[in-house]
Structure 1
Amino acid sequence: MTKKIDDWHDDVPDNNANEEDDEIIWVSKSEIKRDAEALKDLGAEMVDLGNNSLDKLPLDEDLRDAINLAQKIKKEGRRRQMQLIGKMLRSRDIEPIQTALDKLKNRHNQQVSLFHKLEILRDRLVEEGDDVIPSVLDLYPEADRQQLRALIRNAQKEKAANKPPKSYRQIFQYLRELAEGQG
């Protein structure tokens, strides 16, 4: 039995039809390792958080228990527990966890920035005295001018006498309370 040319054509697979079915995305071993390492790093970040911060993350009970255990373990056991946490994260949607963690970090960065601004304002108050009080009242209209003046005067006396900076710290505390009252 001999085949005609047209019959041979029917036996050859059509590559274009199979390309759509066989779209396999190849991932290199290195990329898999990088992803696994990133998940371990995410787990390590969560292990370093305190309980109040962990409560703000959307964690299931198993993952939370694994993190709590890692916080208690030391040395080699901790390393293995971190690997387990990374492995557990591979089977979970980490997007909500990462988003909540980013919000926590941003809140921390904002607080550090606010504290830095308050420290600068406190230093100006102690150095320049009553001349800076109007700018504080512009920022915080509910501030008590007399209380600020007394704190500034006491801080200047403490500084001149080389005494512990009690009033200096009280100025910062007062400014922080005013700032938190606005937020």
Structure 2
Amino acid sequence: MNRPDPNRVIEERPSKSQRKRDSTALQDIGAELGELSKERLAKVPMSERLRDAMEELLRVTKHEARRRQLQYIGKLMRDEDVAPIREALDALAGVSRAEIARQHKLENLRERLLEDEAVLGEIASEFPDADLQHLRNLRRNALKEREASKPPRSYRELFKVLRALSQPGRAAEDEDGDFEDEIEDE
């Protein structure tokens, strides 16, 4: 009788089903990348081969051709480090922990500014290119809107300006309205 040696370590390969799930997951990430604009896609770290394949996906319009291109992208992504790509996608979607923490910090800064105008000095030291007069006007208008129970237009605009200041590369995107407004708790 041949009994297996209990001390022998058996290296198991992933099952065919697991490999298929992994491949489909990579294709799904490729599909998410394919939905991004060229400007946002340029911000995602990836190899040149994958970038070229993504640009080709943006040009392809026929259903079957897109499906084949997504399969090819999934194949190329097997050689990629997917973690930085996933992080970049999460940051663009606003769901990464760092992005959420940044948004909370900006929301707190906005609230502190509404409570005390002296916070403008802190903003000026942290963001030297800040337009303090514009921020002062937005603060004043936000307070008036709050008192009159009007829609918080200036309140939201204040957040957008602070967000643009905290990440200058996103200032143009904020003006276009590509990012969703944060959920107001009022």
**When the two structures are superposed, what TM-score results if normalisation uses the length of structure 1?**
0.56
More helix per residue: 1
Output aligned runs, 1:1-183, within 5 Å: 28-55=15-42, 56=44, 57-60=46-49, 63-69=53-59, 72-73=61-62, 79=67, 81-86=69-74, 88-89=75-76, 93-95=79-81, 98-105=82-89, 107-108=91-92, 109=96, 110-126=98-114, 128=115, 132-141=116-125, 142=128, 148-180=135-167
Identity, in percent, stands at 39
Q: Please name the residue that 2:8 is paired with.
A: none
Larger C-alpha radius of gyration, 1 or 2?
Answer: 1
Three-state SS of the structure 2 residue aligned to 1:133 is: coil
Distance 1:40 1:168 in 2: 40
Three-state SS of the structure 1 residue aligned to 2:118 is: helix
Distance 2:12 2:152 in 1: 64
Compute the displacement of 1:37 (Å).
Answer: 2.3
CA RMSD, 1 decimal: 3.8
Compute the displacement of 1:103 (Å).
Answer: 4.7
Compute the displacement of 1:118 (Å).
Answer: 1.8
1:94 alignment partner AA: E
Q: C-alpha deviations, 1:9-34, integer Å up to 9, x for none?
A: xxxxxxxxxxxxxxx97553223323
Unaligned runs of 5+ in 2: 1-10, 169-186
Distance 1:174 1:42 in 2: 31
**Cα gap change, 1:137/1:179 in structure 2, threshold over 3 Å: closer, same or farther?**
farther
Q: C-alpha deviations, 1:93-141, integer Å up to 9, x for none?
A: 223xx25414523644344532332233323433x2xxx3334533542
